[in-house]
Amino acid sequence: MATMITSQDFIDADVVAAKIEAGDFTVYVSPEFEINGETFRVVLDGHHSFAAASEAGADADIVEMSATDDDRVALINDPEAFLAACWMDGEYRNAKTGAAIW
């Protein structure tokens, strides 16, 4: 099973509350890819929805994106370039636990 990772640190509590109220728990992720024998997928969009699902005790609705949906996915065979293109505002960490990845 792939570890879902993110580099977005900023989460607005008001946006999370609105997502909970709306039941918006859709999270868009990359296809799986490997680095040093470990399998990952990146949260491409829906960081606030993921936080809302976690806070509400609900399952996130995970939607895998393709290169047609998100141009960055076209870089996935070059993990370094892909991660650079997906970078938000923090270090990459496990989206569920918050633990640092590298």
pLDDT band at residue 102 using 50, 70 and 90 as cut-offs: confident
The pLDDT assigned to 67 comes to 97
From CA 102, how far away is CA 94, in angstroms rounded? Answer: 10
Q: In this model, does residue 1 exceed pLDDT 90?
A: no
Which residues, including other chains, have CB under 8 Å from residue 16's CB and lie 6 or more apart? 48, 51, 52, 55
The pLDDT assigned to 63 comes to 98
pLDDT digits (tens, 9 = 90+) for 40-93: 999 999 999 999 999 999 999 999 999 999 999 999 999 999 999 999 999 999
pTM: 0.93
The pLDDT assigned to 33 comes to 96
Pick from 3, 2, 55, 4: nearest CA to 25 = 55
